[in-house]
C-alpha cells in the first residue's frame, strides 16, 4: 500500500519585519494569532484541496514549540474548529523544529496500518526569541498541514521512504516555565544541525539506492540563509535543486512548520515523476528524512 499526500495547505501571517544586517525578512503574527489559529488556517486549506469528507479524517497530530496551552491539546481545537466530528485520534507533538515532520511520520503509520482512512499532520509555530538574541533575526510564525491517504487516484505525491536520526545533543532548549529558549551558539552548527541532516540524508539515499542527481528538488530545515546552502553543497545538491523550497529569507524560521512550508512551496511547482528529498531538523536533537515522488513512486 502506498501512502501519499492528498491535500496540503499553508498559512503565514501577513505581517513582516525586515533586517538590513541579514538582508532578510520574517513573518510576524498578529495579536490574535497563535499556533492554534495558524494550524486551523493551514488545515482548512489542506481540506479544501483534498476535497474529501472531513469526517473521515481519523487522526490529527499537531507539532509545535508554542502550543497555546501547556495542558490542553491544540489538536482538539483544530478538530473542533474544522468540524471533523468527534471520532478522531488527536495529540500534540513537540521535538523542537521537527515536531511537524514527526507528525507526518505518525500519520503515515496510522494510515498504512488501516486504523483510519485519512490522517492530518500539522506543523505550526509562533517562534520565541529573547530580545537582543541572535534568534530574533529569524524567529517567525507560520503553519503547514498535510492530509495523508492511500487512494491512488487522490494522491498528489507518494511518500516512498522515511527514516530518522536521533541523539541527545543539547544545542537548544527551553525549560518548563522559561519564557525564551536558550542555545549554545556555534555549537548548534557542526555537531547539531549539520551532523544530523547529513547523516539522515545520506542514510535515506543509501537505503533507497538514490543519489543527489535523482532528485529534482531538495528541502532542508532552514534556521537561517546560510545553513541549508552549506549542507546542500556538502551532500552534492545544486543551488537549483534547493532554491524553490528555500523560504527563510522571506518569512524567517517558522520552527515546526519550517521544512513543511518548504515542501508545500515545492509541491506547488513540481511535475509528475519529480523526486523530492526533505530533511527536517529539531534541536535536542534529530532529523526526519523523506523521499517523495510526484504522482506516485516506483
Q: Is 65 a catalytic residue?
A: yes
Choose, from 33, 45, 65, 183, the residue flagged as catalytic: 65
Q: Are 251 and 26 a contacting pair, CB within 8 Å?
A: yes
Q: Are 119 and 58 a contacting pair, CB within 8 Å?
A: yes
Q: Is 33 a catalytic residue?
A: no
- Give the residues across from 260 on adjacent strands: none
Residue 217 contacts by C-beta under 8 Å, 6 or more apart in sequence? 241, 242, 244, 245, 266, 270, 274, 275, 276, 277
Q: Is 117 a catalytic residue?
A: no
Choose, from 67, 183, 196, 221, the residue flagged as catalytic: 221
Q: How far is CA 104 from CA 33, 202, 206, 225, 270, in A?
A: 23, 20, 22, 25, 20
Helix H segments across 82-194?
99-112
Residue 31 contacts by C-beta under 8 Å, 6 or more apart in sequence? none
Q: Are 162 and 257 a contacting pair, CB within 8 Å?
A: no
Q: How far is CA 84 from CA 68, 222, 279, in A?
A: 21, 32, 30
What would the grid cell of residue 18 be?
Answer: 525586515
* β-pairing verdict for 57-63 and 89-93: parallel
Choose, from 97, 107, 108, 183, the residue flagged as catalytic: 97
Nearest partner of 61 among 126, 134, 145, 135, judged by Cα: 145
Catalytic residue positions, numbered? 65, 97, 221
Amino acid at each position: 500500500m502506498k501512502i501519499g499526500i492528498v491535500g496540503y495547505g499553508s498559512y503565514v501571517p501577513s505581517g513582516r519585519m525586515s533586517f538590513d544586517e541579514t538582508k532578510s525578512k520574517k513573518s510576524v503574527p498578529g495579536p490574535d494569532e497563535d499556533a492554534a489559529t495558524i494550524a486551523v488556517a493551514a488545515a482548512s486549506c489542506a481540506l479544501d484541496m483534498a476535497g474529501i469528507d472531513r469526517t473521515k479524517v481519523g487522526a490529527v497530530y499537531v507539532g509545535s514549540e508554542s502550543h497555546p496551552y501547556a495542558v490542553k491539546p491544540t489538536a482538539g481545537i483544530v478538530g473542533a474548529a474544522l468540524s471533523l466530528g468527534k471520532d478522531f485520534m488527536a495529540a500534540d507533538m513537540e521535538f523542537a523544529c521537527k515536531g511537524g515532520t514527526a507528525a507526518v511520520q505518525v500519520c503515515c503509520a496510522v494510515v498504512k496500518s488501516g486504523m483510519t482512512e485519512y490522517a492530518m499532520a500539522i506543523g505550526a509555530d509562533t517562534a520565541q526569541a529573547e530580545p537582543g538574541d541572535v534568534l530574533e533575526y529569524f524567529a517567525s510564525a507560520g503553519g503547514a498541514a498535510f492530509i495523508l491517504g492511500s487512494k491512488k487516484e487522490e494522491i498528489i505525491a507518494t511518500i516512498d521512504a522515511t527514516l530518522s536520526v536521533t541523539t541527545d545533543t543539547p544545542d537548544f532548549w527551553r525549560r518548563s516555565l522559561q519564557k525564551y529558549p536558550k542555545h549554545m551558539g556555534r555549537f548548534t552548527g557542526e555537531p547539531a544541525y549539520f551532523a544530523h541532516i547529513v547523516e539522515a540524508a545520506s542514510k535515506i539515499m543509501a537505503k533507497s539506492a538514490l543519489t543527489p542527481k535523482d532528485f529534482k528538488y531538495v528541502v532542508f530545515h532552514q534556521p537561517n540563509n546560510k545553513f541549508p546552502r552549506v549542507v546542500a553543497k556538502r551532500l552534492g545538491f545544486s543551488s537549483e535543486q534547493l532554491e524553490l523550497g528555500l523560504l527563510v529569507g522571506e518569512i524567517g524560521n517558522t520552527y515546526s512548520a519550517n521544512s513543511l512550508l518548504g515542501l508545500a512551496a515545492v509541491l506547488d511547482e513540481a511535475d509528475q515523476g519529480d523526486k523530492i528529498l526533505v530533511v527536517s531538523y529539531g534541536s535536542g536533537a534529530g532529523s526526519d528524512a523523506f523521499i517523495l515522488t510526484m504522482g506516485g513512486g516506483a
